[in-house]
Each structure stands twice: as C-alpha cells, then as structure tokens.
C-alpha cells in the first residue's frame, strides 16, 4: 500500500486562531476559492481529507485508499463499492484529470426549454452573461489550449494558447466526422502548448488522464492555485476529515470539527465564514452529519433537500478497429496513449430534435489511459459519449446505518437514471458508431464507464436556487437560513449539462468567492490571474 503524505497536524495556535474563512476541500472549487480569498488579503485555512500527491503516486493508489459508499446494483442489492470522490487528495481530481475544459452550453442554463418541468427545477439561477467573465478568468488562469469553431456555442472563446497537436487518431476521427457533415474542433484542454505563466509546454511523455503532471504543464488546482497561495501565506492541512460544522447561533456557524486520518486526533478549526467544497457527495454528507437541536436532520436541511437531485452524468465509450492506409507511423510498432488524451470534439448532437428529449450530448476522442503497442498499419479509435442525466428527488446522498473506523455513518448514493437518459446515451453511442464506420473501422464495440458507481462528474445535491423548498443554497452559494456557511462545488448545479464540468465548477466557485468578498468584506476583487505574488494586508493578521 502506498504510504500517504499528510504533512503536519494543526498546532494549538491553529486551533485558537479564528480565520476569516475555512475552506473544506482543496479540489477544483476549493482551491480556486481559497486562492481568490487569500489573494484579497483574507486569512484562509483549507481542510483536505486526502494526502499530498507525489510524482510516483498514481490514480489507482489514491482510489485504493479512498473511502467507498453504498450503491444499489441492477439486482436491487446494495454493495459498498461506490466511488464518492473524483479523487481524495490535495488538488482533488484535477491532479489526475485529462484537462478537458468545456464551457457549458446556453441550453444547459435553462434545459426546461427542451425537457419541460420535472420534480425538481432545472433552470440555473445564473445567466450566461453573469458567468462569462469568470469563464474567461479561469481559462486564463488554467492556460487553456484550444481553437476552432464549436457549433453549440453562440461565439467561440478566445483561448490563451493554440490547441494541442492533433493525434493520428484524432485526425482520422475529425475527417470521418466532416465526411458526415459534422463540425469537429480541437478539444479545449488545460494543458500548455507553449510556455505559459512560468509553466513549460507539455512534453507528451505520460498519460494525462491518470497521472500527476510532473512538468507543471497541466492546469491542475495545485499548480495553478494552491502552490501560489501557500507561498503567500495560505494554511492548508491535509489528512483532516471534516466531520461536523459547528453552529454558533440560529443563523451562523463558527468552525469545523475534524479528525486526522492517520492518528485519529480531533481538531477544531474556527472561522468567521465556512465554505464547503468537498464535492457534491462529500459536501452533502457533511451537512447531513452536522446535526444539532435547531437542525436535527442536518444543516440546511429544513426541507429535506440536502443530498437530493444527485447526478453522475451518464457516459460510455465506443471503440473501433481499423487498418491505417497509409501506415499511421513509420515502420516498427508504435505506442498509443501517452500525452493529451483528446484532440477532437464533436458537439453537433448536443441538442438534436431526433434525440430523446431533444438532447444528445458530447462526443470526444478519448485516448487509452495506458500505452498500447500497435502495428504501424493498425489503429484503435476510442470515443467517449457524455449525456446529462435529469435530476430526480429520488436520486440522493444519505447517511447509512453502518459506521467507519471513526464511528461516522457510511455514505449512501441512491441513484437510478431516468429511462429517457438511457435512451439518450444509446442515441449518442449509435452516432459515435456511425463516425467510426465512416472512419473505416471494420469492428466497433462498447466499453462501460460504470458511471452509476460514482463519477468524477458529481452534481446536484446542494442545489442553488431562490426557493428553499427546492434548493439548499441561494445563487451566491449561501446555505438557506445561515449567513456565513456556503457551498461552492458541483453540488450547487441544478442541472448537470452534458460536458466535462471542471471549468464551470471553478467559474461558479470564483463568482461566489467574489460575491463573498464584496458582501462581507467590502473588497472589490481582481478579475485577473497572477501565479505569483498575492496582495496581503494587515487586517487578517
């Protein structure tokens, strides 16, 4: 088993110090939130359950050490094999993700225009115009490489770098798609293609999708946000599991109770504001564990909405085998897999009148996670299909009757996709098969993503909205009924959309952090990114 590196525990001084903000979680949303608040001069402390990731630590190592959750199998039986994490480590899933950085489409902001009304509101409480400047800031910070025309967006973003070099497989996929009248374009990736903000260009030596980038070319949360903020004074404690948020009075909270994962020691970190950024599953579980006399069913759960509307986003792979003519590479066997995992994307089926409910989804090239040796005249083409799943009251995160080694209740993820969502995935995979046939693939087959076991695409359990009866937070992320408790991760999204969510989660979190700065501290935030030098003042010392 890989030895986990947590770093030091909080000291007695850390326990008595009252920070301006305590951020729970250091992944996509937590890191950018902590960076923005610390940059504005606040005293910020970050609590992260997982370890620091060293270059030799793999995705499988982290997943092996992470806690599992109860999920329902097709047979109706329950098994504790679900994955309630993207990954549990400093930087979260961004350390191991492939870097796909899509904006959500305008239709995602109000999907009721196509799907109609369900048992939960689908309309987002933010407009495209409100989020656009935050998209641009995050794209600049991460260093997005991209270009071309995306037919599902009203206008194409201006990215700071040109797209990654098209793979041999991506070139074949794009040509086949164009032959069908489709409009493929380079997959926007948080991967440097030129020197950028002190980061070197990608060398393409390792598979992005399952490894930390030891060059710093990938725009993960550690490289872009946490490391600069820590150098400027941000306090981050790894190996601390937030087990309960403490209430101060009827409308405020005052800190977080934590357990050190290796020693079992208990710590309390106090703060004037608490920001929850665990992920849609972990944040809901934390709120549900935070019971007291005034909230016997958990904080923010007066209307039994915490944990409701769980979405994983449905997905699946379609693969094809073809003989390359002429050979894809010079003689001798060639490896496929290292480097950026995707160089071609297709959004022509994102909305389609012949798709179930009028929605299709995203098709992207998805290279293998491990290098595969191929003959020079052979190619394996691999496409991933992503479709949004409709939120349901019955799909939810709850707490089980079993307990872990610390006596904390198990996490339960009760999830069953709508039949129309199954039909939508089938629709999109058939279109992907058509692209592979147009590419000359002699054989095609499908691979499961096992999305129902948990996912890196976690949404909906702390939904943002204006009505406390159908949401957990207001549009600024504040938990209804509490003035200084926020949720800023993918749980606030009322509808998941059909693209990779990291960019949008970070844009929403940054907007909420900026609203907090203006509302509570009277600070006008900076709408630019700098990887070095943050503005500290003496107010929080």
3-state helix, strand, coil in the chain (%, to 5): 25, 25, 50
Residue 457 annotated as catalytic:
yes
For residue 480, give the 3-state DSSP assignment: coil
Domain for residue 60, yes or no? no
Number of domains in the chain: 1
Q: Please report whether residue 30 resides in a domain.
A: yes
Among 457, 459, 480, 514, the one annotated catalytic:
457
Residue 38: CATH number of its domain: 3.50.50.60
Decide: 429 and 351 in contact? Cβ < 8 Å.
no
Domain membership flag for residue 165: yes
Residue 78 in any domain: the answer is yes
Q: pLDDT tens digits, the chain, 541 residues: what are they? A: 467 899 999 999 999 999 999 999 999 999 999 999 999 999 999 999 999 998 788 888 888 888 999 998 877 889 999 999 999 999 999 999 999 999 999 999 999 888 888 889 999 999 999 999 999 999 999 999 999 999 999 999 999 999 999 998 999 999 999 999 999 999 999 999 999 999 999 988 777 787 788 888 999 999 999 999 999 999 999 999 999 999 999 999 999 999 999 999 999 999 999 999 999 999 999 999 999 999 999 999 999 999 999 999 999 999 999 997 665 555 555 555 677 889 999 999 999 999 998 989 999 999 887 777 778 888 999 999 999 999 999 999 999 999 999 999 999 999 999 999 999 999 999 999 999 999 999 999 999 999 988 978 999 999 999 999 999 999 999 999 999 999 999 999 999 999 999 999 999 999 999 999 999 999 999 888 887 544 444 333 3
Strands 345-346 and 240-247, by their bridges, are unpaired
Examine residue 535 and state whether it is found in any structural domain, yes or no: no
Q: Is residue 5 part of a domain?
A: no
Helix segments in 20-123, DSSP class H: 28-39, 59-65, 106-109, 112-115
**Greatest pairwise CA separation for the chain in angstroms:** 72
Q: Which two tokens stand for residue 35?
A: 């960076």
Task: Name the strand (E) or helix (H) holding 397.
Answer: strand 396-403
Which residues constitute the domain of residue 130?
17-55+74-521
Residue 390 domain flag: yes
- Residue from 431, 425, 527, 496 nearest 105 by CA: 496
Whole-angstrom distance, CA of residue 9 vs CA of residue 1: 22
In a domain, 69, yes or no: no
């Amino acid at each position: 088993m890989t030895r986990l590196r947590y770093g030091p525990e909080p000291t007695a001084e850390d326990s008595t110090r009252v920070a301006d903000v305590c951020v729970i979680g250091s992944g996509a949303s937590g890191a950018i939130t902590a960076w923005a608040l610390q940059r504005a001069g606040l005293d910020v402390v970050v609590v992260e359950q997982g370890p620091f990731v060293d270059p030799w630590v793999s995705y499988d190592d982290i997943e092996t050490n992470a806690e599992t959750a109860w999920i329902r199998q097709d047979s109706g039986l329950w098994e504790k094999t679900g994955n309630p994490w993207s990954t549990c480590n400093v930087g979260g899933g961004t350390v191991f993700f492939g870097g796909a950085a899509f904006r959500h489409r305008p239709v995602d902001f109000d999907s009721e225009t196509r799907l109609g009304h369900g048992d939960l509101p689908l309309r987002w409480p933010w407009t495209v115009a409100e989020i656009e400047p935050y998209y641009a800031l995050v794209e600049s910070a991460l260093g997005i490489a991209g270009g071309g025309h995306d037919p599902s967006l009203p206008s194409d973003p201006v990215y700071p770098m040109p797209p990654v070099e098209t793979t041999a497989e991506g070139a074949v996929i794009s040509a086949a798609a164009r032959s069908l009248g489709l409009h493929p374009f380079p997959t926007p990736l948080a991967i440097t293609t030129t020197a950028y903000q002190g980061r070197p260009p990608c060398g393409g030596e390792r598979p992005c999708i399952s490894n930390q980038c030891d060059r710093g070319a990938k725009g993960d949360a550690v490289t872009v946000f946490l490391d600069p903020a820590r150098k400027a004074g941000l306090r981050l404690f790894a190996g601390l599991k937030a087990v309960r948020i403490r209430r101060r009075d009827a409308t405020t909270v005052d800190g977080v109770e934590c357990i050190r994962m290796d020693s079992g020691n208990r710590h309390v970190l106090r703060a004037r504001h608490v920001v929850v950024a665990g992920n849609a599953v972990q944040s809901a579980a934390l709120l549900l564990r935070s019971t007291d006399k005034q909230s016997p069913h958990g904080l923010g759960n007066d209307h039994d909405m915490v944990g409701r509307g769980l979405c994983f986003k449905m997905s699946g792979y379609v693969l094809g085998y073809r003989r390359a003519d002429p050979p894809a590479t010079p003689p001798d066997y060639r490896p496929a897999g290292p480097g950026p995992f995707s160089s071609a994307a297709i959004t022509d089926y994102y909305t389609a009148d012949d798709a179930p409910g009028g929605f299709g989804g995203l098709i992207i090239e998805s290279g293998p996670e491990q290098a595969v040796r191929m003959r020079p005249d052979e190619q394996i083409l691999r496409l991933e299909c992503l479709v949004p799943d409709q939120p349901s009251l019955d799909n939810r995160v709850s707490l089980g009757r079993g307990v872990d080694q610390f006596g904390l209740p198990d996490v339960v993820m009760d999830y069953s996709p709508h039949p129309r969502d199954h039909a939508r995935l089938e629709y999109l995979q058939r279109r992907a098969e058509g692209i592979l046939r147009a590419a000359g693939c002699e054989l095609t087959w499908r691979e499961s993503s096992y999305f129902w076991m948990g996912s890196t695409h976690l949404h909906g359990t702390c939904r943002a909205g204006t009505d406390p009866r159908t949401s957990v937070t207001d549009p600024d992320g504040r938990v209804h009924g509490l003035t200084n408790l926020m949720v800023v991760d993918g749980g606030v999204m009322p509808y998941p959309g059909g693209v990779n969510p990291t960019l949008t989660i970070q844009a929403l979190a940054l907007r909420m952090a900026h609203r907090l700065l203006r509302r509570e501290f009277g600070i006008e935030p900076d709408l630019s990114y700098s990887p070095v030098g943050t503005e500290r003042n003496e107010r929080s010392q």
